[in-house]
Structure formats: structure tokens, C-alpha cells
A and B are shown apart, each in its own frame.
Chain A
Amino acid sequence: MTSNAFGLIYTGETNPMLRDLALSRSVAAVPFGGRYRCIDFILSDLVNTGVTSVGLITQKNYHSLMDHLGAGKEWDLHRKREGLFMLPPFMTKENTGLYRGSVDAIRSCLGYVRRNPQQYVILSGSHTIFNMTFNDMLARHIETRANITMLYNEGEIAASEEQNLDLRLLMDESGRVNEMELNPFSPRSAYRSCDVMIMDKLLLEYLVEEAYSHGDYDLTRDILLKKCQTLKIMGYRYDGYVARLDSVNDFFRHNLALLQPEVRNDLFNPSHPIYTKVKDEVSAKYGENAVVKNAMLADGCQIDGTVENSIVFRGVSVKKGAVVKNSILMQGVSIGENCLMDHVILDKGVVVRDGRTLTGYDGFPIILKKGTTI
């Protein structure tokens, strides 16, 4: 399982459409699937590929992310040689420490890139969730002698209203990318980038330095879009489930999609486990009045009310008589007696006192930010 590649994850994406979910944390640290954070998926994908060195570029609000990852022990990335490298903003005479975009960010950690003995870099963002390994993609990259291989999947032809980093690939029969569109008004291709690409690390260094000398700072907009013709960029198709956390609606939809067995089995494929920080919570406890239907619940929960069509994170309590439907309750949420919660997203530690009612709508779930009490 050794791999001639290292991982480089850029967590600097910002997205106002995630509203309160990404207010005090980076997108990478947004909770997902009952006990995970967004970052756990790409990090586990890399580990399951056999990658032993992963650099993680942080930009803003990375407190929560660092707290989650620690030394990388839970991903088996706490190693003597290599392992997990946190690459926080870096201030030098030519760098203010605040990156304008991914080029600035990667440029500030070229030291890490150069030091790695592996030849290839698997470069990824952090807001896309899927469960795969990159071994075959890397083999194909080498076989096709591509300069860059980009991961994509087939999405909808039409652009969603909440477009965010929507990069479409137009390819010929051989899979070579001729053209790309970023956030197109009406996309000409259903093939959407999954925010992962493989290239030789020397090429990355070259592209980053070149872009920087031209005053460019965005890897996608300033390099990939312009260089489709001069570089050999190949697409690599992925057919599994892909969840992009582009907006609150996407967050809501993809979380609840875990209630479908196909999605669950795909994202939690037992041969490629998804690792996360372990909290040593006790098992979930169901009381005598518990009524739970079609729901996913994590450890440490105490359920004595009704929970339907919902995702319930670790350590949530739902008291007697309370009804929770079509909702996402994050870690440590407490729902008092006889409450009614429908289409709500309650962030970590929200406390709902006895008898409260809160109802959102499909397409506009109500979010309560971290630590709110109502």
C-alpha cells in the first residue's frame, strides 16, 4: 500500500452560503454524518490509499480544525517519519500571512512540497466528501503521461442556484480536458470536478511560481482554466457518491441522504474505513418512551422522545415527549420535554428548553448557531 504520492489539502475555501455553519470554523471542520467532520473523508481517502505524508494548509478559523486533528493519531498519521503536517499561514517579507488564494497558500509551503521524497502530489480541497482510494487514479495518471489528472463525477447538467466552485470539464473521447468552465451560467458539461488532482510535484512548483510572478493567485481560475491547451490534463471519472458542501441546503440534503442504504454503504464502505477523532462516549441509550424511525444516531445520545428522518451526532439528549423530524442535531444538543423540531439544523451545544417549537421548510432549514439557547 505504499504510495509514491503525498497529499496536500487546501482548507482555505470560504463559502458564505454555508451561513452559520462555517461562521466560526473552516469548511473542512463542518460536522457531517453523525460523528465526522468534512475533512475526515479526504484524509481517510488519502490514508486508505497508502499515503503517509499529508500537508494541511489552513487559512482562517482553523482553531476547530486543529482541535479535531491533533497530531493525526486517529488517522494513523502520527508518525516518526512523515505523517500529518499542519501548515498554518506563514508571514515572510513577501507574504502577509493572509492568502489571496490557493497559489499564495501553496507557495508559502513549497518547503514542505520540496522536502517530500514522493514524486507526485495529490492536491485536494476540503469541502467535497466521498470514499475512494487514489491508487488507480495515480496509475492512470502515470500510464497516460498526463501533466495533470483531475477527478470528476457526473452531476446535473443545469447549474444549481447556489453555485460554488462549480468547475465543469469538457473532454474529448480519450478523456483529455479541452476546456473548463468555472461557475458557468449554463454549463455545457455534466462532468464536475471533485476538487482532487494529481500532478508531478515539480510541475506544481513550476505552476505556482509562474502564476505568482504574473500576480495570479487562484490555482483554478488563473492556471487550470488558461492552460487546458498547453498542458495535458486528463479527467478521471468517479462513480460513487459525492457530497459537495456548497450551501446549507447541500449540507442538509447530503446529511439526510445517509439514511438511504446505498449512500451509507458507499460512504461507509467497510473496506475503506473513515477515521475520526474518538471521544470515548458510551453507547446511545434508548429510554422507555423512545420512538426512533429512519435515523442515524451516534454514541453518547440519550433518547427518550421521538426522532424521525434525522441525523443525530454524539452526546445529544432528546427528552420525553419531544419530537424531532427531518433534522440534524450536532454534538451535545439538548432537546427539552415536549419540544417539536422539524427541518432544523442545531449546531454544537444548542439547548432547546421544554416545550419549544421550531419549524423550517424543505429548502430552507432553520440553523441555530453553536451554543444558542432557546
Chain B
Amino acid sequence: MKKRIVAMLLAGGQGSRLGVLTSSMAKPAVPFGGKYRIIDFPLSNCVNSDIDTVGVLTQYRPLALNSYIGTGQHWDLDRMNGGVFVLPPYVTGVDGRWYTGTANAIYQNAEFVDQYNPDYVLILSGDHIYKMDYGAMLRFHIEKNAVATIAVLPVPMEEAHRFGIMNTDDADRVTSFDEKPKQPKSNKASMGIYIFNWKVLKESMRIDDENPDSTNDFGSDIIPAIIKGGLPVYAYPFKGYWKDVGTIQSLWEANMDIIATPPKLVLNDPQWRIYSRNPIMPPHYVGANASITQSLVTEGCRVEGKVHHSVLFSNVSIEAEAEVYDSVIFPGAVIRRGAKVYKAIVGENSVIGEDAIIGGELRLGDQVDNSLTGTITLVGNDISIQSGTYLPQGTVATEDVCGGRSL
């Protein structure tokens, strides 16, 4: 059956800059915001924008993502006609191959898109946190008679060199595109959200695929080629919160953004709910000697200690006399009695032993490789930190720490 628009969500990224958090799952499956995973944001945006057909392109460690999405019922995407589909790379006769680039991933799944014979295709990536009405972007695309529309966000000029920058005329038509320019000519950064006329996209992907020098990427190959070909490409200006959570620093910051007063991203929005798979847990319990301020706490948590300016995911346990500040605690983690956690991300089902200190001041002689983390301390998934351990700030705990560096 024909669909006007089909969304394709690029969820194949390994997210190597998230270090141990993505050692067993793809970046879009990383928890965010108390009860979500990153992929809940683009999926919920689709549903709230009345887009009911979504292909999720996976490649790296797809199990966590696959089982998380399931039939799509949590996003109301278990549809008779359409719905959500997980699309891994596949083999055809002799020449099956991995996805070589973002555009190649779509090109290899052109048959999937063709089933719905859509007029438009929406390309999304699975590692951004934002609320956006793609319907408004589609209306813009149609009004402008564009063949491609790229959502752009104004960024501070001094940071523009970190982004793909769209140079436009007064009518928002893109005149040229610069990937991470040294001398940016505009501050309109591409958000990695594109709408294409499907026929045009398919044709340019076909040409691109025949070019052995191409990286098969939307930003560096497909879009520049379409602009060069003289076809109308427009930049859709987006206003609102948008954050690429590709690094430990930005993941932590984005979590802090939602507990800021006032929050930089409002999640409590009945008109634009973010949906997620529900853990089926009772409401959280707060003990008689607990203290919780400026924090998010969700179902299944037990808090007996002190939590300040932090985000607790489902089924987290904070025991008596434990203290947690400026931290993000992933589902199922346990902070034992008397432990202190400062400015840290604690992975799923990890256990911080009694009286351990996570994210303490750097002491003389501490050797910390903080190239990924800066001042944030990171404890991976399923890690057990023994009682009394001292982890100075910036540490990445990738395996069980057995008191080697005790107090």
C-alpha cells in the first residue's frame, strides 16, 4: 500500500566515543533521561508526526536494539500496514556486504522503501536528543518544491567548525555545503535529518554507488552531488533543543539539561510524549532517612540515601548513607551503603561497593586516562566495584575493580 512518507532511522553507529557504554550495544540503545533509550526520541517524534512506517537500520551489536524495539507496540508502531522494521545488512547471492556508509545503508534497503512507493523519505539518525514535528518539515519541503530538505540548527559561530554547515540564500535555499569548515560562512549546522523525494534520492544513490571513490555518505557525497546538479535543496530552520549525545561529556550534559531549572528540554509534555518500553515495576520507594532534590527518579527505584541533582533509571537502589551527586545511574545499578558517587555515569546493573568513592578528587600519583571522559567518571555495564575502592574523577572502570586502589 502506498505511503506518503517513510522514515529510515540510521541506528548502525557503534558510538566508539561512548567507550564501555557501547561495548555490548549500539549507541541508539544507550539509556537516556531516566526511562528512555536514545532511539525513543526519533521513534516517538515519528509517531507524534503521524509517520507510521519506520525502517531501523542496524549493523553494530543489534541484539539490545532488536529486543528493545520488539514489535514496536510501545511506540504504537505495531501496525496492520506499516510499523517499525529492523533492517540488518544481508547477503545477496555472492556479493552481500556491510553497510559502507549512511547512504549505502538506505540504498541496500531500497526494496523495503519501494514496497510503500512513498513520495518522500525521511532520513534520521539514532543518536540525537530532540523533539521535532517532522510534519512541519515536510510541509516546508513541499511548499518550497524542494527535492531535498535538510534540517538545520543555528549554532554559535565559534563552534560552527565542528558541524556540517549549510550556506543558504535568503529564501533558505542551500547554495553550498561545507563539512566541518575551517572558516565557516554560516552558522546553520546540519542536524542529520533529511527529507528527500524518493525518486531523486534513489537515482542519486545509484549513481553514487557506481563511484568507487565515494564514501556513500549523505553529508559528504549525496547532498553535495544533488546541490551540484542544480536541484532545489532547502535548509529547514529548526528552533528548539537538539543535542548530539555521541560523547560521554554530551551524554552527561544532556541528562543534566533535563533536570536544570527550568529544564532545557521539557520531557513532561502531554502533547508530545516520548514513548519507551516499560520495565513493569512498582512505583519507587523513598526511605525514612532519604533525601532527594533536583533529581529524576522512576519506577522500581529504592532510595534510602541522599540523591542530589542526578538522574536515576528504573530499578536503581541507593542504600542508606550512600550519596549521589550530579550523576546518571543506569537501570538496575546498586549503590551500597556509605558509597559516594560524584559526577559519574554508572552503567546498567553495576554495583558500587560499600564506602567506595566514585569520582573523587585526583590525588598525587593517580594515573587516569580521561581522554574520553574529561572530569566525568564512567563505570561500565555489569561492573562490580569493591567496597572501599577509590576511583578518581575521569576514570573509566571497564572491569571489576577489586580494591586494588583502596582508600
Residues of chain A touching chain B, judged by Cβ–Cβ distance below 8 Å, are 33-35, 73, 259, 264, 267-268, 273-275, 278, 280-300, 302, 311-313
Chain A nearest CB, measured from B269 CB (Å): 8
Does B150 have its Cβ within 8 Å of any Cβ on chain A? no
Offer 14 A-B interface pairs, CB within 8 angstroms, sorted by A. Answer: A34-B283, A267-B282, A280-B273, A283-B311, A284-B298, A285-B259, A286-B296, A287-B261, A288-B293, A291-B291, A294-B286, A295-B285, A299-B35, A302-B268
Q: Check B267 against A294 for contact (C-beta < 8 Å).
A: no
* Complex contacts, A296 vs chain B, CB 8 Å: 282-286
- Alpha-carbon gap, A175 to B39, bound state (A): 55
Question: Besides A280-B274, A280-B275, 12 other CB < 8 A contacts?
Answer: A33-B282, A33-B283, A35-B299, A273-B280, A278-B278, A281-B268, A283-B297, A283-B312, A285-B268, A293-B289, A297-B286, A311-B283
User: With A33-B283, A73-B73, A280-B276 as given contacts, are A287 and B294 in contact (CB-CB < 8 Å)?
Assistant: yes
Chain B residue with minimal CB distance to A289?
A: B293
User: With A282-B268, A287-B293 as given contacts, are A274 and B285 in contact (CB-CB < 8 Å)?
Assistant: no
Q: Which 9 residue pairs are nearest across A and B when measured between Cβ atoms?
A: A34-B283, A283-B34, A283-B296, A298-B283, A283-B298, A268-B282, A294-B288, A282-B267, A286-B292
Chain B nearest CB, measured from A269 CB (Å): 10
- Alpha-carbon gap, A256 to B94, bound state (A): 66
* Complex contacts, A295 vs chain B, CB 8 Å: 285-286
**How many contacts A-B (CB < 8 Å)?**
101
For B268, B280, B282, B284, the residue with the greatest tally of chain A CB atoms inside 10 Å of its CB is B282
Does B197 have its Cβ within 8 Å of any Cβ on chain A? no
Query: From DSSP, what is the main secondary structure of chain A's interface residues?
Result: loop
Contact of B290 among A274, A282, A292, A313 (CB under 8 A): A292
- Alpha-carbon gap, A274 to B312, bound state (A): 22
Query: From DSSP, what is the main secondary structure of chain B's interface residues?
Result: loop
Q: Check A293 against B280 for contact (C-beta < 8 Å).
A: no
- Alpha-carbon gap, A35 to B35, bound state (A): 16
- Alpha-carbon gap, A13 to B18, bound state (A): 56
Chain B nearest CB, measured from A144 CB (Å): 34
- Alpha-carbon gap, A288 to B259, bound state (A): 10
* Complex contacts, B293 vs chain A, CB 8 Å: 286-290
Chain B nearest CB, measured from A288 CB (Å): 5
- Alpha-carbon gap, A187 to B375, bound state (A): 68
Chain A nearest CB, measured from B317 CB (Å): 12
Does B295 have its Cβ within 8 Å of any Cβ on chain A? yes
Chain B residue with minimal CB distance to A44?
A: B280
Does B240 have its Cβ within 8 Å of any Cβ on chain A? no
Chain A residue with minimal CB distance to B267?
A: A282
User: With A264-B282, A283-B298 as given contacts, are A300 and B268 in contact (CB-CB < 8 Å)?
Assistant: yes
Q: Restricting to B16-39, which residues have a CB under 8 Å from any CB of A?
A: 33-35
Contact of B299 among A264, A267, A290, A299 (CB under 8 A): A299
- Alpha-carbon gap, A15 to B115, bound state (A): 57
Q: Check A282 against B294 for contact (C-beta < 8 Å).
A: no
Contact of B294 among A268, A281, A288, A294 (CB under 8 A): A288
- Alpha-carbon gap, A179 to B299, bound state (A): 45
* Complex contacts, A300 vs chain B, CB 8 Å: 268
Does B181 have its Cβ within 8 Å of any Cβ on chain A? no
User: With A282-B34, A302-B268 as given contacts, are A292 and B282 in contact (CB-CB < 8 Å)?
Assistant: no
Chain B nearest CB, measured from A262 CB (Å): 13
Does B287 have its Cβ within 8 Å of any Cβ on chain A? yes
Chain B residue with minimal CB distance to A313?
A: B283
User: With A299-B298, A299-B299, A300-B268 as given contacts, are A293 and B284 in contact (CB-CB < 8 Å)?
Assistant: no
Q: Check A286 against B295 for contact (C-beta < 8 Å).
A: yes
* Complex contacts, B288 vs chain A, CB 8 Å: 293-294
* Complex contacts, A311 vs chain B, CB 8 Å: 283
Chain A nearest CB, measured from B11 CB (Å): 21
User: With A285-B268, A299-B298 as given contacts, are A35 and B286 in contact (CB-CB < 8 Å)?
Assistant: no
* Complex contacts, A288 vs chain B, CB 8 Å: 261, 293-294
Chain A residue with minimal CB distance to B40?
A: A280
Chain A nearest CB, measured from B320 CB (Å): 13
* Complex contacts, B289 vs chain A, CB 8 Å: 293
* Complex contacts, B295 vs chain A, CB 8 Å: 285-286
- Alpha-carbon gap, A283 to B313, bound state (A): 8
User: With A268-B282, A280-B273 as given contacts, are A297 and B297 in contact (CB-CB < 8 Å)?
Assistant: yes
Q: Check A275 against B297 for contact (C-beta < 8 Å).
A: no
* Complex contacts, B74 vs chain A, CB 8 Å: 278
* Complex contacts, B291 vs chain A, CB 8 Å: 291
Chain B nearest CB, measured from A148 CB (Å): 33
Q: Check A284 against B296 for contact (C-beta < 8 Å).
A: yes
- Alpha-carbon gap, A204 to B129, bound state (A): 57
- Alpha-carbon gap, A345 to B289, bound state (A): 24
Chain A residue with minimal CB distance to B284?
A: A297
* Complex contacts, A312 vs chain B, CB 8 Å: 283
Q: Check A294 against B35 for contact (C-beta < 8 Å).
A: no
Chain B residue with minimal CB distance to A308?
A: B288
Chain A nearest CB, measured from B31 CB (Å): 12
- Alpha-carbon gap, A294 to B73, bound state (A): 35
- Alpha-carbon gap, A274 to B293, bound state (A): 29
- Alpha-carbon gap, A275 to B299, bound state (A): 13
Chain A residue with minimal CB distance to B295?
A: A286
* Complex contacts, A281 vs chain B, CB 8 Å: 268
- Alpha-carbon gap, A311 to B283, bound state (A): 9
Q: Check A264 against B268 for contact (C-beta < 8 Å).
A: no
- Alpha-carbon gap, A106 to B294, bound state (A): 53
Contact of B287 among A273, A278, A290, A294 (CB under 8 A): A294
Q: Restricting to B21-75, which residues have a CB under 8 Å from any CB of A?
A: 33-35, 73-74
Chain A nearest CB, measured from B220 CB (Å): 37
* Complex contacts, A283 vs chain B, CB 8 Å: 33-35, 296-298, 311-312
Q: Check A285 against B296 for contact (C-beta < 8 Å).
A: yes
- Alpha-carbon gap, A283 to B300, bound state (A): 11
Chain B nearest CB, measured from A305 CB (Å): 12
Encoded as 1 (CB less than 8 Å from any A CB) or 0, chain B from 96 to 125 comes to 000000000000000000000000000000
* Complex contacts, B267 vs chain A, CB 8 Å: 282
- Alpha-carbon gap, A293 to B287, bound state (A): 6
Encoded as 1 (CB less than 8 Å from any A CB) or 0, chain B from 302 to 339 comes to 00000100011000000000000000000000000000
